[in-house]
Amino acid sequence: MRHGLTRRQLLAGSGLATAGLIAGAAGTGTGVERAGAATADDSSGAPPSPDGGSTVPFLGDHQAGIATPEQARMVFAAFDLTATGADALEELLTAWTRAAALLTAGEPVEGPAAGPFVPPADTGEALGLPASNLTVTVGFGPTLFDGRFGLAAKKPAALTELPPFAGDQLDATRSGGDLCIQACADDAQVAFHAVHNLARAALGTATLRYLQTCFGRAASVGSTGRAPRNLLGFRDGTNNLDPSDDATMRKFVWVDRTTTDQPWMAGGTYLVARRIRIHLEEWDRNTLDVQQDTIGRVKATGAPLGQTHEHAPVDLQALGSDAQPVIPEFAHIRQAAPTTNGGQAILRRGYSFADGVDPQSGELDAGLFFVCFQKDPRRQFVPIQSRLSLNDALSEYLVATGSAVFACPPGVADGKPWGHTLL
Ligand code: HEM
């Protein structure tokens, strides 16, 4: 896509230059260029991006990174604001929006020109790398509305702290946050670079609260129509909501102007993040039959039990020759299914994580960084998770160690920063 384009043409083509999101002021610059991004006069002869069209549009009615295809990697970060006052928040969101527009176009971030006393604007580890389908998604935590920024009256009712669930062992330092950034890309270094530079731009205004690096959702696997496997070895995402289906997204994911108590959230959505550690050593000791009965699907194919194809419809009524349900009573997919939960559904977009070894037990500290999007967590994630924590056979192997909810505002256009409908 970017072959032969000058940087100016690229930005004009992606709408970024006209939208005013890229600072063009004299005295700003990166001093360096990313792969395929030639200088403004295109005299550098920089090589084209090796993998061509690997950008996801930043501008739009909805933020990217929600309905857009899953990438292979995610870095998820939560921040605490140290500054107070709406101006500080607005300045940070404006700087983040500009930076995210550049980063997702495969460009380095801009800032004061480097000099004897001025470090380079961009940290540099993604120089020479293509945009790798990078998406950067922002969210606002419930604590952002606690009065420090004059936003108490604008707190959506749906942005309520999650209640405790049976079996949770939450670590406060891995939970909550005033703001979150979800950076997804097909290259781990590109995703990390985005968060690294946004954290740097927040210096003096916000500090990192936690950061989770994740893996496991290669787009090339997804494009075969088969869901990628999680650390249990099962395909995960098969019976997810279809993010390309507008009617489904309007029904379950995008906040609707007519029903929200806070019109600034129209076109946005709510993100629930749960760091779920899986006791893999215990899981791995199970026979294949026990594993399959726990999930309700065939491990090799991903098909629902009793079926042969991954995408065969789940029939929760089916009985075996022994007159017992083919999909057991406490199987994960039965307990999580919309029909078991009053028709409620969520858009799942989680990734696996592996954070080394738990020093106490000598076991893996690995699992699923579960992320889901919905119109209202009080009617979607919360009741579904309440049921799973009590009735799901899988919950025996799971411990949530982190938990957070964020309001993701609508997307941006026309040079406006993230949160412009709020501030
Ligand atoms: C470590 C934690 C988890 C693992 C390993 C896991 C794994 C899986 C797997 C293998 C499937 C079947 C394939 C598919 O349709 O995607 C599935 C389905 C599903 N999971 Fe999970 N899951 C986890 C946590 C959760 C949580 C916390 C929720 C929601 C609160 C959830 C909601 C669902 C839903 C809604 C389905 C689809 C059910 C249906 O067929 O209608 N999962 N999960």
pLDDT at 49: 43
Measured in Å, residue 336 CA sits from the centre of ligand 1 at 7
- The label of the residue with tokens 């496997």 reads 229
Residue owning the nearest CA to atom 34 of ligand 1: 336
Distance from the CA of 335 to the center of ligand 1, in angstroms?
A: 9
Residue 353: its H or E element: strand 351-357
Residue 281's pLDDT is 98
- Specify the residue with its C-alpha closest to ligand 1, atom 25: 370
What separation in Å is there between the alpha carbon of 253 and the centre of ligand 1? 17
- The model carries a pTM of 0.91
Residues of the chain with pLDDT under 50: 1-15, 17-19, 22-31, 36-50, 52
Residues in the chain: 423
Residue 1: partners with Cβ closer than 8 Å, 6 or more residues away:
52, 53, 54, 55
Q: Bridge-partner residues for 312, per DSSP?
A: none
In this structure, what is the dihedral angle of CA atoms 398, 400, 405, 410, given to the nearest 10 degrees?
A: -50
What are the C-alpha distances in Å from 320 to residues 25, 323, 397? 70, 5, 27
Instruction: Give counts: helices (H), strands (E), the chain.
Output: 10, 11
Round to whole Å and give the CA distance between 183 and 72: 11
Does residue 16 contact residue 101 with C-beta atoms inside 8 Å?
A: yes
In 89-246, the DSSP E strands lie at: 111-112, 135-140, 179-185, 206-215
Task: Judge contact between 54 and 97, C-beta under 8 A.
Answer: no
Q: Which residue has the tokens 């075969």?
A: 224
Q: Which residue has the tokens 């980063």?
A: 103
407 forms beta bridges with 140, 270
pLDDT of residue 3: 32
For residues 143 and 176, the answer to whether their CB atoms sit within 8 Å is yes
Q: Pairing state of beta strands 269-278 and 364-374?
A: antiparallel
What are the backbone dihedrals phi and psi of residue 290, each rounded to the nearest 5 degrees, phi first? -65, -45
User: Is the backbone of residue 176 left (phi > 0), alpha (psi -120 to 50) or beta?
Assistant: left
Contact between residue 332 and residue 396 where contact means Cβ atoms under 8 Å apart: no
- pLDDT, residue 1, reads 30
According to the model, what pLDDT value does residue 26 have? 34
Enumerate residues lining ligand 1, CB below 6 A.
227, 230, 232, 234-240, 274, 276, 278, 295, 297, 314, 332-333, 336-338, 367-368, 370, 381, 384-385, 388, 398
Of 130, 149, 42, 43, nearest to 91 by C-alpha is: 149
Helix axes 86-104, 188-201, angle to 10 degrees: 150
pLDDT at 217: 66
CA of 375 to the centre of ligand 1 (A): 18
Under DSSP, the state recorded for 271 is: E
Cα(38) to centroid(ligand 1), Å: 44
